[in-house]
Chain A
Amino acid sequence: MMTDPTIPVTEDELHAYVDDELPVERRSDVEAWLAAHPAEAERVESWRKMAEALHARYDAAANEPVPPRLDLDRLDRRPRRWIFGAVAASLVAFAIGGAVGWIAHGAASSPSLLQNLAGDALDAHRLYVVEVRHPVEVPGDEKAHLQQWLTRRCGRTVQAPELETTGLKLVGGRLLPGPTGPASFLMYESTSGERFTVYATKIGIDAAEMRYMAQGNTAALSWAERGVSYVVTGGSDRTRLTQVARLVYDQSERTGG
């Protein structure tokens, strides 16, 4: 079927034509239109050359033998070094937490404290969220141990919120220095690699109102309640972040975290 070839061909249609995404019945129209528009035909031809150049340059990477470091069995062996890492990091966190706590003890009522805390949580998020093999000190499949350890070190009940309903699974957690003492830092991940973190620490103020803070592609929601402040950090999608933070909030009210 020949549709009216005088219907102008759009930019999108030209790309779809080159990428084989154009409905079959429109192909001959586009070809006829291109025959009458040499400048556009030349542009489409340049896209084809671009594709050839890309394949010429990069197909070799797919034909190389796969290096041993990408062997699946080798990658599967899980490093067990986290035990030592956890001990060392908690000592450091204790030392730093102690010192900073003392320096900051007079400033606990400052209104910017929560904001500084959110900044710290954002930094921690950015630091650890890119880690693939060592994102946490204690992995999520040792949740009971993780909660016990963080509870003891943070001096409050730490329970990892259940975020499975939003597609997020607990990766694990670590201890971090907070402004007035140790902070718990929990990481969650979706199957597509999207990561959220929950940072919580004892703090001498209450601020039930959620505050939003964004830096580039990372954003955080923070609040403080019953002497504990929470910062939930994730991507810049505000709706998604709010959904996750809401879930953390609802559970922290009941269980701590």
Chain B
Amino acid sequence: MSAFRQSVEAMIPALRRYARALTRDVDAADDLVQDTLVRALRSERLFLGGDLRSWLYTILTNLNKNRRRSLARRPLFMPLQDDNPDASGTEAESRDIERALATLVEEQRAVLLLVVLEGMSYREVAEIQGVPIGTVMSRLARARAHVRAVIEGQRPALRSVK
């Protein structure tokens, strides 16, 4: 197996985690990872060094944007909130963070996950999203404020897209 393939393979677990949190859907997440891998393999000859990790996250982020775009014309179904008061602490917390993520604007969710979950630098995220670092920071600040508001049960501020 080539060094390129080995590096791609080593990234699969982390890509699955990011995709899972991005889509909050097991099947949709693995579809995204699969499409990312297919595209990466197809472009092997075009990949002339550089940061493989950032490149793979960029592909996945773009694919998800396209996927969202094609879903945008369909009606959006949201699960009813299941507020089971008997749920244990961790279960409730995990449900809270999932619900909060679902209410975030796409770009803000991606920034939050890339920085907090995947440990990327602001600069890397700026490259992945193709925006200035200042935009990454303002998306991150909005995402954190929004998630906090949802978790604390406040009425989240109106979404604003940047």
Chain A residue contacts of B47, Cβ below 8 A: 191
A133 and B35 form a contact (CB under 8 A): yes
Beta-carbon contacts of B9-49 to A below 8 Å, as 1s and 0s? 10011101100110000000110011101110101001100
Query: Nearest CB to that of B121 among chain A residues?
Result: A21
B121 and A191 form a contact (CB under 8 A): no
Cα distance, A194 to B43, chains bound together (Å): 13
Chain B residue contacts of A66, Cβ below 8 A: 12-13, 16
Cα distance, A193 to B58, chains bound together (Å): 8
Query: Nearest CB to that of A19 among chain B residues?
Result: B115
- Which listed residue, B12, B63, B122, touches A132 by the CB 8 Å rule? B63
B38 and A132 form a contact (CB under 8 A): yes
Query: Nearest CB to that of A52 among chain B residues?
Result: B93
CB distance from A59 to the nearest CB of B (A): 7
Chain A residue contacts of B37, Cβ below 8 A: 70, 72, 75
Q: Is B148 an interface residue (CB 8 A)?
A: yes
A192 and B62 form a contact (CB under 8 A): yes
Q: Is B144 an interface residue (CB 8 A)?
A: yes
Main secondary structure of the interface of A (DSSP, over half): helix
The total of interchain contacts (Cβ-Cβ below 8 angstroms) comes to: 120
Sorting the interface of chain B by its residue count into under 10, 10 to 19, 20 to 34 or 35 or more gives: 35 or more
Q: Is B102 an interface residue (CB 8 A)?
A: no
CB distance from B29 to the nearest CB of A (A): 7
Cα distance, A47 to B69, chains bound together (Å): 30
Beta-carbon contacts of A49-84 to B below 8 Å, as 1s and 0s? 011011111110111101101101001100000000
Main secondary structure of the interface of B (DSSP, over half): helix
Q: Evaluate whether A62 and B70 lie within 8 angstroms (CB atoms) in the complex, with A53-B96, A192-B62 already known.
A: no
Q: Is A157 an interface residue (CB 8 A)?
A: no
Q: Is B159 an interface residue (CB 8 A)?
A: no
- Which listed residue, A53, A126, A191, touches B70 by the CB 8 Å rule? A126
Q: Evaluate whether A47 and B144 lie within 8 angstroms (CB atoms) in the complex, with A15-B137, A54-B116, A72-B41 already known.
A: yes
Q: Evaluate whether A61 and B16 lie within 8 angstroms (CB atoms) in the complex, with A50-B147, A191-B43, A191-B47 already known.
A: yes
The 14 listed contacts between A and B (C-beta, < 8 Å) are: A11-B141, A15-B141, A21-B122, A50-B97, A50-B151, A57-B97, A61-B29, A62-B13, A62-B14, A64-B13, A70-B33, A191-B47, A193-B58, A193-B59
